[in-house]
Amino acid sequence: MSNNSNVKFRFNNSELWGGLIGLGLGLFVIRSGLKLKLGTINDPGSGYVLFYTGILMCLFAASIIIASLSEGGPTFGSRWENARWTKPLIVIASLTAFAFSLDTFGFLLSSIPLMVLLLRLIDPVRWSLAIPIAVIAPLGMWWILKRLLLIQLPSGIFEIG
Amino acid sequence: MSRPSRLMFAVAAVGMLISAAAGAQEYPTKPITLIVPWPAGGSTDLTMRAIAESASKILGQPIAIDNKAGGGGTVGPATMAAAAKPDGYTIAQLPITVFRLPLMQEVSWDPSKDFSYIIHLTGYTFGVTTNTESQFKTWKDVVDFAKQNPGKVTYATPGAGTSLHIGMEQIATLAGIKLTQVPFKGGAETNAAVLGQHTMLQADSTGWRPLVDAGKLRLLMVWTSARSPNFPDVPTLKELGYPMVYDSPFGIAGPKGMDPKIVAKLHDAFKKAIEDPAVIATLAKYDMVPNYKNTEDYKKFVVEVTNSERKVIDSLGLAKK
Amino acid sequence: MDTIINVAHGFGIALLPVNLVYCFIGVFIGTLVGVLPGIGPISAMSLLLPVTLSGTPESGIIMMAGIYYGSMYGGSTTSILVNIPGEAASVVTCIDGHQMAKQGRAGPALGISAFGSFIAGTFALIALMLVAPSLASVAIAFGPADYFSLMALGLVVLTFLTQGSMAKALLMACIGIVLGLIGLDSITAQPRLTFGRIELIDGIGLVPVVMGLFGVAEVLLNTEQIIKRDIINAKITQLFPSKEDWKASTGPVARGTVLGFFLGILPGGGAVISSFASYALEKRLSKTPERFGNGAIEGVAGPEAANNAAAGGAFIPLMTLGIPPNVVMALLLGAFVIHGLQPGPLLITQNPGLFWGIVASMYIGNVMLLVLNLPMIGMWVQLLKLPYNILFPLIVLFTIIGVYCSSNNVFDVYVMIAFGVIGYFMRKLGYEPAPLVLAFVLGPMLENNLRKSLILSQGDLMTFVTRPISATCLALAVVLLVGPLLPSLRKKRELVALDEGV
Q: How far apart are CA B172 and CA C361, in angstroms?
A: 50
CA-based nearest residue to B99, from B161, B181, B165: B161
Backbone angle region of C113, left / alpha / beta, with phi > 0 → left and psi within -120 to 50 → alpha:
alpha
With beta carbons less than 8 A apart as the criterion, state whether A116 and A126 touch. no
What's residue C231's pLDDT? Answer: 54
Contact B184 C452 (CB under 8 A): yes
Task: Please name the member of B19, B30, B31 whose beta carbon is closest to the beta carbon of A159.
Answer: B19
Q: Which of C390, C411, C419, C450 has the most A C-beta neighbours within 10 Å, making it the best mutation to test the interface with A?
A: C390
The DSSP secondary structure of C46-104, one letter per residue, reads HHHHHHHTTS-HHHHHHHHHHHHHHHHHHHHHHHHHHS--SSGGGHHHHHHHHHHHHTT
Note whether A41 contacts C: Cβ–Cβ < 8 A.
Answer: yes
Note whether A104 contacts B: Cβ–Cβ < 8 A.
Answer: yes
Contacts of C142 in chain B (CB under 8 A): 196
| CA dihedral sign, ordered B103, B105, B110, B116 | negative
Q: In C284-430, at which residue ranges do the beta strands (DSSP E only) sit?
A: none
Domain ranges of chain C: 2-496
Q: Using DSSP, state whether C192 is helix, strand or coil.
A: strand
Task: State yes or no: pLDDT of C497 exceeds 50.
Answer: no
CA-based nearest residue to B120, from B147, B99, B105, B139: B99
- Nearest residue of chain B to residue C188 (CA atoms): B71
Task: Please name the member of A18, A29, A125 whose beta carbon is closest to the beta carbon of C178.
Answer: A29
Note whether A43 contacts B: Cβ–Cβ < 8 A.
Answer: no
Contact A43 C428 (CB under 8 A): no
Question: Which chains form contacts with chain B, at 3 or more CB pairs under 8 Å?
Answer: A, C
Stated as kind and residue range, the H or E segment containing C183 is strand C183-184
- Rounded to 10°, the helix A48-71/C433-456 angle is 140
Note whether B13 contacts A: Cβ–Cβ < 8 A.
Answer: no
Range with top average pLDDT, A109-118, C48-57, C227-236: A109-118
CA-based nearest residue to C398, from A153, A161, A150: A153
Q: Which residue has the higher pLDDT, A82 or C147?
A: C147
Task: State yes or no: pLDDT of C460 exceeds 50.
Answer: yes
Q: Is the ipTM of this complex over 0.85?
A: yes
Q: Using DSSP, state whether A6 is helix, strand or coil.
A: strand
- Nearest residue of chain B to residue C145 (CA atoms): B198
What's residue A9's pLDDT? Answer: 58
Contact B191 C322 (CB under 8 A): yes
Q: How far apart are CA C116 and CA C287, in angstroms?
A: 21
3-class DSSP string for chain B: CCCCCHHHHHHHHHHHHHHHHHHHHHCCCCCEEEEECCCCCCHHHHHHHHHHHHHHHHHCCCEEEEECCCHHHCHHHHHHHHHCCCCCCEEEEECCHHHHHHHHCCCCCCCCCCEEEEEEEECCCEEEEEECCCCCCCHHHHHHHHHHCCCCCEEEECCCCCHHHHHHHHHHHHHCCCCEEEECCCHHHHHHHHHCCCCCEEEEEHHHHHHHHCCCEEEEEECCCCCCCCCCCCCECCCCCCCCCCCCCEEEEEECCCCHHHHHHHHHHHHHHHHCHHHHHHHHHCCCCEEEECHHHHHHHHHHHHHHHHHHHHHHCCCCC
Q: Which amino acid belongs to residue A88?
A: P
> Percentage of chain C surpassing pLDDT 70?
87
What's residue B17's pLDDT? Answer: 43
- Nearest residue of chain A to residue B106 (CA atoms): A36
User: C315 to chain A, minimum CA–CA distance in Å?
Assistant: 26
What's residue C222's pLDDT? Answer: 81
What's residue A56's pLDDT? Answer: 93
Contact C404 A149 (CB under 8 A): no
- A148 CB burial (10 A radius; 0-12, 13-18, 19+): exposed
Q: Which of B29, B30, B66, B154 has the most A C-beta neighbours within 10 Å, making it the best mutation to test the interface with A?
A: B30
Beta-carbon contacts of B311 under 8 Å, excluding residues fewer than 6 positions away, are: none
Contacts of B46 in chain C (CB under 8 A): 333-334, 337
Contact B19 A103 (CB under 8 A): no
Residues facing C192 on adjacent strands: C183
Note whether A46 contacts B: Cβ–Cβ < 8 A.
Answer: no
With beta carbons less than 8 A apart as the criterion, state whether C239 and C225 touch. no
Q: How far apart are CA C310 and CA C278, in angstroms?
A: 12
% helix, strand, coil for chain A, step of 5:
70, 5, 25
pLDDT tens for each residue of C281-294 = 888 888 888 888 88
Buried b (16+ CB within 10 A) or exposed e, C212-248: bbbbbbbbbbbbbeeeebbbbeeebeebbbeeebbeb
With beta carbons less than 8 A apart as the criterion, state whether C433 and C426 touch. yes
pLDDT tens for each residue of C411-440 = 889 999 999 999 999 988 888 888 888 888
With beta carbons less than 8 A apart as the criterion, state whether B285 and B125 touch. no
Contact C446 A49 (CB under 8 A): yes
Count CB-CB contacts under 10 A for residue C130.
Answer: 12
Query: Taking the mean position of all CA atoms in its chain, how far away is CA A52?
Result: 26
Return residues 91-150 of A near C (CB < 8 Å). 91-92, 95-96, 98-99, 102-103, 107, 111, 114-115, 118-119, 122-125, 129, 133-134, 137-138, 141, 145, 149-150
Contact B72 C189 (CB under 8 A): yes
User: A134 to chain B, minimum CA–CA distance in Å?
Assistant: 25
Query: Taking the mean position of all CA atoms in its chain, how far away is CA C185?
Result: 25
What's residue B153's pLDDT? Answer: 93
User: B279 to chain C, minimum CA–CA distance in Å?
Assistant: 9
CA-based nearest residue to C425, from C220, C259, C248, C133: C220
Q: How far apart are CA C78 and CA C210, in angstroms?
A: 13
Q: How far apart are CA C325 and CA C327, in angstroms?
A: 7
Contacts of A145 in chain B (CB under 8 A): none
Question: What are the angstrom distances between the C-alpha of A152 and each of A133, A142, B28, C417?
Answer: 22, 8, 13, 21
Q: How far apart are CA B136 and CA B142, in angstroms?
A: 6
% helix, strand, coil for chain C, step of 5:
80, 0, 20
Taking residues A9-35, what's their average pLDDT?
87
Contacts of C334 in chain B (CB under 8 A): 40-41, 45-46, 49, 65
pLDDT tens for each residue of C324-375 = 777 777 778 777 777 777 777 777 777 788 888 888 888 888 889 888 888 8
- Nearest residue of chain B to residue A36 (CA atoms): B106
Q: How confident is the model at residue C488 (pLDDT cuts 50, 70, 90)?
A: very low
What's residue B3's pLDDT? Answer: 38
Task: Please name the member of B2, B15, B31 whose beta carbon is closest to the beta carbon of A158.
Answer: B15
pLDDT tens for each residue of A131-158 = 999 999 899 888 877 776 666 777 777 7
Q: How confident is the model at residue C232 (pLDDT cuts 50, 70, 90)?
A: low
What's residue C92's pLDDT? Answer: 86
CA-based nearest residue to A76, from A24, A6, A19, A25: A6
* Stretches in chain B below the pLDDT threshold 50: 1-24
> Percentage of chain A surpassing pLDDT 90?
26
Task: Please name the member of C50, C323, C408 whose beta carbon is closest to the beta carbon of B53.
Answer: C50
What's residue A53's pLDDT? Answer: 93
- Nearest residue of chain A to residue B182 (CA atoms): A43
Question: What are the angstrom distances between the C-alpha of C448 and each of B91, C149, C245, C274, C486?
Answer: 27, 12, 41, 20, 33
Tell me if the pTM is above 0.80.
no
Return residues 59-98 of B near A (CB < 8 Å). 62
Stated as kind and residue range, the H or E segment containing C184 is strand C183-184
User: C121 to chain A, minimum CA–CA distance in Å?
Assistant: 27
Q: How far apart are CA B127 and CA C6, in angstroms?
A: 37
Q: Which of B49, B184, B279 has the most C C-beta neighbours within 10 Å, making it the best mutation to test the interface with C?
A: B49
With beta carbons less than 8 A apart as the criterion, state whether B288 and B125 touch. yes
User: B32 to chain C, minimum CA–CA distance in Å?
Assistant: 10
Task: State yes or no: pLDDT of C491 exceeds 70.
Answer: no
Stated as kind and residue range, the H or E segment containing A127 is helix A127-143
Taking residues C18-22, what's their average pLDDT?
89
Question: What are the angstrom distances between the C-alpha of C49 and each of B283, C34, C57, C59, C66?
Answer: 19, 18, 11, 12, 13
